[in-house]
Structure 1
Amino acid sequence: MSFLGKWLILFGFILILLGLIFVFMDKIPFLGKLPGDIRIERKNFIFYFPLTTSILLSLILTIIINIILRLRK
């Protein structure tokens, strides 16, 4: 049961972080407006795909996770 409790606490912490990110996402000026983000606007249609932002966030998260895993060993 101790193992399940630790996972539930971790999952809750991750949900809180995601919630904070969504609340303050508009305050980050460059997020979603980088060169390479695809935005197509038509009369009744808007398509938006943040390609560069996704790659940048993936790279940052990979570095953070690798640092955390190396410190745990």
Structure 2
Amino acid sequence: MNGMTVSNLLIGIGLLLVLAGVAYKYGLLDWFGHLPGDIRYEGDNFVFFAPFGSMILISVLLSLLFWLFNR
């Protein structure tokens, strides 16, 4: 990779992080962690959270997005 593609990659990642931050601030990501398949266990002194359903949904959406861009 040359310097130009690395800089474009870093700019793209930064823009995605800014968009994710704005979406989180305005409550557009409230669904994350509350889908079927997301596991949450709260004990007396312990909390276990595994968002399997949310991660599967994000994986499918990203795979579809990358597939569309590579066509």
TM-score by length of structure 2 reads 0.69
Counterpart residue number, 2:49: 48
Counterpart residue number, 1:17: 19
Measure, in 2, the Cα distance between the counterparts of 1:41 and 1:47: 6
Aligned-residue offset at 1:47? 0.9
Matched, 1:64 2:65: yes
Aligned-residue offset at 1:44? 1.7
Aligned residues: 69
Identical residues among aligned pairs (%):
33
TM-score by length of structure 1 reads 0.68
**Which ranges of 4 or more aligned residues in structure 1 deviate by more than 4 Å?**
1-5
Q: Which runs of 5+ in 1 are unaligned?
A: none
